[in-house]
């Protein structure tokens, strides 16, 4: 072959031939002595291989851990079943006497032995839904500002103050509402609502500062940090590539937030709203101090009301008879059932929005 002659590509070795040559070239070992055919000993295993051989397969540890996690998961079902069983057993007197009519009756007269929980169910649902209507838009605004628009220097202080609201005890909220919110509602906000929104017939009657609207406002303030904090964490979990891709395609800042962030975080936002609703349904002290504690049903938001948690807190210590005590325990059962039903409806709403599909990539 001359210098100027081009090199000819060699044909590749077939895989089967290469494997045969490799096996035939490998030194055969003596099964009896563990040495190779040439008489040399095989190489010593590495330190990592020796450690893995000594510690075993770990099958027992894996099975024990899986069993422990299964017991932890089953404990949730056992706790819920235990609570429901105790509530049903302790309220069997009113269940036997009133049946399902206990939840639809409107009379609450311990002296004559007439008990109906519908005014309390109405007060619980009305105050909680009004609180959600006020808290959700504000919480979303706070979360969007903190994640997308807030300057870096202000992000940490505002986040700290938002989370601080969740740490304030409910009785402190109640005292603040009694001495600050009630006078504002009676002297300033109430007359303003009557003047400009009186045509809705939702702000009629006497305004003493306590009532469903006041309780809803204090509930909205209490659930605001829960919804805002969880929504902020969910939005921060959205990949930055979503934002950069939307902006690179020419979207405005609002279009990027609406399409690239909120759409991908919508399942988590609904979950945050559900948690806030659960807090509102079970709140006791702050609502008890400002709702008026009257077992009546009224269309006016200025009218006093009662919630399931408030009637238990107010009257449990003075329940004098077995039927009265059984009725209060069944009120707890009603609160338990209302919480389950509301959370079930919320889960159905999540399914209706997402149809079981994961978040879409914009």
Angle between helices 266-282 and 212-236 (to 10 degrees): 150
pLDDT, mean of residues 309-331: 89
Instruction: Determine the Cα–Cα distance for residues 51 and 49; give it in Å rounded to an integer.
Output: 5
Q: What is the DSSP-derived secondary structure letter of residue 204?
A: -
Instruction: Determine the Cα–Cα distance for residues 222 and 135; give it in Å rounded to an integer.
Output: 9
Establish how many alpha carbons lie within 13 A of residue 32's alpha carbon, considering only the half-sphere containing its beta carbon.
1
The CATH homologous superfamily to which domain 122-303+337-354 belongs is: MetI-like (1.10.3720.10)
> What value does the mean pLDDT of the chain take?
83
Tens digits of residue pLDDT in 204-229: 888 899 999 999 999 999 999 999 99
Instruction: Determine the Cα–Cα distance for residues 58 and 19; give it in Å rounded to an integer.
Output: 35
Local confidence band at 4 (pLDDT 50, 70, 90 cut-offs): low
pLDDT at 219: 95
Of residues 30 and 194, which shows the higher confidence score?
Answer: 194
Long-range (24+ apart) CB contacts under 8 A made by 9-16 are: none
pLDDT, mean of residues 78-82: 93
pLDDT at 18: 47
Local confidence band at 289 (pLDDT 50, 70, 90 cut-offs): very high
pLDDT, mean of residues 18-43: 51
pTM: 0.77
140 pLDDT exceeds 60? yes
Establish how many alpha carbons lie within 13 A of residue 276's alpha carbon, considering only the half-sphere containing its beta carbon.
35
Beta-carbon neighbour count of residue 155 at 10 Å? 15
Question: Where along the chain do its domains lie?
Answer: 122-303+337-354
Tens digits of residue pLDDT in 227-285: 999 999 989 888 888 888 888 888 888 889 988 898 888 888 888 898 898 889 988 89
pLDDT, mean of residues 11-34: 48
């Amino acid at each position: 072959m001359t210098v100027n002659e081009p090199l000819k590509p060699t044909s590749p070795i077939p895989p089967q031939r290469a494997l045969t040559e490799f096996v035939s070239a490998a030194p055969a070992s003596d099964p009896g002595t563990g040495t190779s055919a040439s008489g040399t000993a095989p190489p010593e295993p590495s330190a990592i291989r020796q450690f893995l051989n000594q510690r075993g397969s770990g099958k027992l540890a894996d099975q024990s851990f899986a069993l422990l996690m299964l017991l932890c998961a089953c404990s949730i079902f056992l706790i819920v079943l235990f609570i429901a069983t105790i509530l049903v057993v302790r309220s069997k007197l009113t269940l036997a006497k009133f049946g399902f009519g206990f939840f639809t009756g409107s009379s609450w007269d311990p002296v004559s032995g007439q008990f109906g929980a519908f005014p309390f169910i109405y007060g619980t649902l009305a105050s909680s839904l009004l609180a959600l209507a006020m808290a959700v838009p504000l919480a979303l605004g706070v979360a969007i500002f903190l994640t997308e628009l807030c300057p870096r220097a202000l992000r940490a202080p505002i986040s700290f103050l938002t989370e601080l609201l969740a740490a304030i005890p409910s009785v402190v909220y109640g005292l603040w509402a009694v001495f600050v919110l009630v006078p504002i509602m009676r002297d300033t906000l109430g007359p303003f609502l009557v003047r400009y929104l009186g045509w809705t017939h939702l702000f009629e009657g006497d305004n003493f500062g306590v009532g469903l609207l006041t309780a809803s406002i204090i509930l909205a303030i209490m659930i605001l940090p829960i919804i805002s904090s969880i929504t902020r964490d969910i939005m921060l979990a959205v990949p930055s590539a979503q934002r950069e891709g939307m902006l690179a395609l020419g979207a405005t800042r609002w279009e990027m937030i609406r399409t690239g962030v909120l759409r991908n975080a919508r399942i988590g936002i609904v979950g945050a709203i559900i948690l806030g609703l659960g807090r509102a349904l079970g709140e006791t002290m702050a609502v008890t101090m400002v709702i008026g504690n009257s077992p009546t049903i009224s269309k006016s938001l200025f009218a006093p009301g009662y919630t399931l948690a408030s009637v238990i807190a107010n009257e449990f210590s003075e329940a004098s008879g077995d039927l009265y005590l059984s009725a209060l325990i069944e009120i707890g059962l009603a609160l338990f059932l209302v919480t389950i039903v509301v959370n079930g409806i919320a889960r159905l709403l999540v399914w209706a929005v997402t149809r079981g599909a994961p978040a879409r990539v914009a």
